[in-house]
Homo-oligomer: A and B are copies of this chain.
Amino acid sequence: MKIGELSARTGVSIRSLRYYDKQGLLTPTRLENGYREYSPFAEQQVRTIQLYLNLGLSTEQIAGFLHCVMKNKEAFCKEVVPVYREKLAEIEEQIALLSAVKSNLEERIRSIMEEDPPNQPLGGE
């Protein structure tokens, strides 16, 4: 199938499919006229790519094991777990940072609220 049909089937934009091609994630064969020709398996492959992107993995990370997971079960691809753990650590770090900022903001709001109750006739700047 050609790129427009794959896009329609998967809901992934043509632009993104071309990007996946350039990143080596999904490299279709080419017709004589230069058009990309995708195998029927490409549809599942696109869905798999989207799944990993939604986990926050980069195209480069995905490229590192996509070939394997399309052929085997995820568990057979030794590259997968390290990438998952790496991403997990990154996410935990982000959550910790965000939580700290969140607490800070909450404390600031709380502190302002008790210092400037709404029945005070004072305006701002």
Interface residues of A (CB under 8 A from B): 54-56, 65, 67-68, 71-81, 84-85, 87-88, 91-92, 94-95, 98-99, 101-102, 104-106, 108-109, 111-113, 115-116, 122-125
Give the residues in chain B near A109, CB-CB below 8 Å: 81, 84-85, 88
Q: Which residues of B contact A84 (CB under 8 A)?
A: 105, 108-109, 112
Known: A76-B124, A112-B80, A125-B68. A91 touches B95 (CB 8 A): no
Given contacts A78-B123, A98-B94, A124-B68, contact A104 B73 (CB under 8 A): no
| Beta-carbon nearest neighbor of A104 in chain B | B55
Task: Tell me if A105 and B76 are in contact (CB < 8 A).
Answer: no
The SS class assigned to the A binding surface is helix
Closest 3 CB pairs of A and B: A78-B124, A68-B125, A75-B116
Cα distance A84–B105 in the bound complex, in angstroms: 6
CB pair A65–B105 under 8 Å, yes or no, is no
Q: Which residue of B lies closest to A56 (CB)?
A: B101
Q: A109-B85, A124-B79, A125-B67 are in contact. Are A102 and B98 (CB under 8 A)?
A: no
